Amino acid sequence: MSTENLNNEDAIAKLRELVNKIDVGMLCTYPANETYVHTVPMSRQEVDEQGNIWYLFSSESETYANLKVNDKISILFSQVSDYNFLSLNGVAEVSQDKERIEKYWSKFVEAWFEKGKEDPHIRILKVKVKDAHYWDNKTNKLGTFLKLAASVVSGQKLDIGREGDLNV
């Protein structure tokens, strides 16, 4: 596996590509006075031009309670079928931005908020990415398997993918 660290626009483009491809990430918040993180699966709404990741969530959730005392957040994305992975850390900003709620509203989101767009518990979560690391396969799962097998048989190291830091 080769290393390819990316910066600025290239890093944001790679971040957007992976998050949009994988979609659901395991979002981790840090409860006060607890040993372990609190983790929930979350589907992203958008990765914007600055590399911020946006979500809709509820103020009645444990995630919200945790963010009130600690704004640090980590998200782990995994697409095993193609060997694509992304780990990131950031800072959360929570709001009730009505324009964003309108922008992100869909039938899927509606299932989570019984009172619709006017539900007083809807919150916008903006994750400002501070550091990220990715693992990206250059081929599909079968191609990777064949390259690994060829590498074992031939003794040659074949480049099966890349990994690196994303400095947004």
**pLDDT per residue as tens digits for the range 35-63:** 999 999 999 999 999 999 999 999 999 99
Which domain range does residue 148 map to? 2-167
Q: What mean pLDDT comes out for the span 105-116?
A: 91
Q: What is the CATH number of the domain that holds 97?
A: 2.30.110.10
DSSP 114: T
pLDDT of 156 strictly over 70: no
Q: How far is CA 19 from the centre of its chain?
A: 5
* Helix, strand, coil percentages in the chain from 3-state DSSP, rounded to 5: 30, 40, 30
Backbone angles phi, psi at 5, to 5 degrees: -80, 140
Convert the pLDDT of each residue in 62-81 to its tens digit. 999 999 999 999 999 999 88
pLDDT of 135 strictly over 80: yes
Residue pair 104/67 in contact by the 8 Å Cβ criterion:
no
**In percent, how much of the chain has pLDDT > 90?**
77
* Token duo for residue 21: 């491809």
DSSP 81: G
Q: What mean pLDDT comes out for the span 2-30?
A: 96
Domain count, the chain: 1
Integer Cα distance of 166 and 89 in angstroms: 11
pLDDT of 94 strictly over 60: yes
- pLDDT band for position 95 (cuts 50, 70, 90): very high
